[in-house]
Amino acid sequence: MDLVTLQRLNAARRARKAALVATDPSTGTQRLIEEESLDPADPLAAEFEARFRTGKSGMIEPADGPRLFLTVIVPPPRLVVIGAVHISQALAPMATACGFDVGIIDPRTAFATDERFAGIALYPEWPQDVIPARIGLDAYTAVAALTHDPKIDDFPLAEALRRGCFYVGALGSRKTHARRVERLAEAGLTPDQIARIAAPIGLDIGAQSPAEIAVSVIAEVIAALRKDRRRAKPGVAP
């Protein structure tokens, strides 16, 4: 890999942006493709998109063109949970086991304790003091708001939508969500942005207990990551 390509690849990695290098093994020719600037007209665009979703490197044999080895670099997926609640206690280890970097934000210090969330990155502060200063939201980040408290949930939800997080979910009834929609609209979010919120949060599996709700949430997050993540980008309609 030449120095310029390596520098661009490392810059993408530092910025938590996906990129891949397509190498022709017969000639050594290389091409770097960054996900955010992928040309839909590229004959291999569909293959590149699939690789960005899975993060898997490997050889491909295009119908028109030489064999290529794709070296794929994607950021580790991240789940930011708003609320150190019972659902979060079940959700955090599940998400960690699935390969997510997990962070939990909750200014209520009685809930946000190391005893309740051992080994999990914990921020017992207001979300606006953590986002984006210490946790930057991006297309490889999911946000799950679980507190039921608009003073805590609304800011990270709005930021997640503005910054194109691949998944944005919020706990609450339809009536609660209707009021949330009004507040977010008043804050300047567009109808298309607000429509991306998964509310009520989680797949409809009839979950009742906190652990069952956590299962429904992590399943929905994984589905969004592997199937629909490109639709979460800013400016891309759901």
83 and 122, same domain (yes or no): yes
Length, in residues, of the chain: 238
Q: Is the peptide bond before 200 cis (omega within 30 degrees of 0)?
A: yes
Q: What is the pLDDT of residue 236?
A: 46
Distance CA 224, CA 230 (A): 9
69 and 33, same domain (yes or no): yes
Residues 6+ apart with CB under 8 A from 46: none
Q: In what helix (H) or strand (E) does residue 80 lie, and over which residues does it extend?
A: strand 78-82
Q: Terminus-to-terminus CA distance in the chain, angstroms?
A: 37
For Cα atoms 135, 137, 172, give the angle at the middle one, nearest 5 degrees. Answer: 100
**Residue 135 belongs to a domain with what CATH number?**
3.40.50.720
107 and 61, same domain (yes or no): no
Q: How would you write the pLDDT of the chain (238 residues) with one tens digit per residue?
A: 788 888 888 888 888 889 999 999 999 999 999 988 899 999 999 999 889 888 899 999 998 889 999 999 999 999 999 999 999 999 999 999 999 999 999 999 999 999 999 999 999 999 999 999 999 999 899 999 999 999 999 999 999 999 999 999 999 999 999 999 999 999 999 999 999 999 999 999 999 999 999 999 999 999 999 876 555 555 444 4
96 and 55, same domain (yes or no): no
64 and 49, same domain (yes or no): yes
| Domain's final residue, options 28, 45, 73 | 73
Q: Name the phi and psi angles at 136, rounded to 5.
A: -85, 130
Residue 49 within a domain: yes
139 and 225, same domain (yes or no): yes
Contact between residue 193 and residue 187 where contact means Cβ atoms under 8 Å apart: no
CA-closest candidate to residue 82, choices 113, 119, 107, 110:
107
| Domain's final residue, options 73, 93, 123 | 73
pLDDT tens track for 93-124 = 999 999 999 999 999 999 999 999 999 999 99
51 and 65, same domain (yes or no): yes
Number of domains in the chain: 2
82 and 61, same domain (yes or no): no
CA-closest candidate to residue 88, choices 98, 76, 79, 75:
79
Range of the domain at 59: 3-73
Residue 38 within a domain: yes
153 and 91, same domain (yes or no): yes
58 and 82, same domain (yes or no): no
167 and 51, same domain (yes or no): no
Residue 238 within a domain: no
Q: Say which residue the tokens 């503005």 belong to.
A: 162
Residue 237 within a domain: no
| pTM greater than the 0.85 cutoff | no
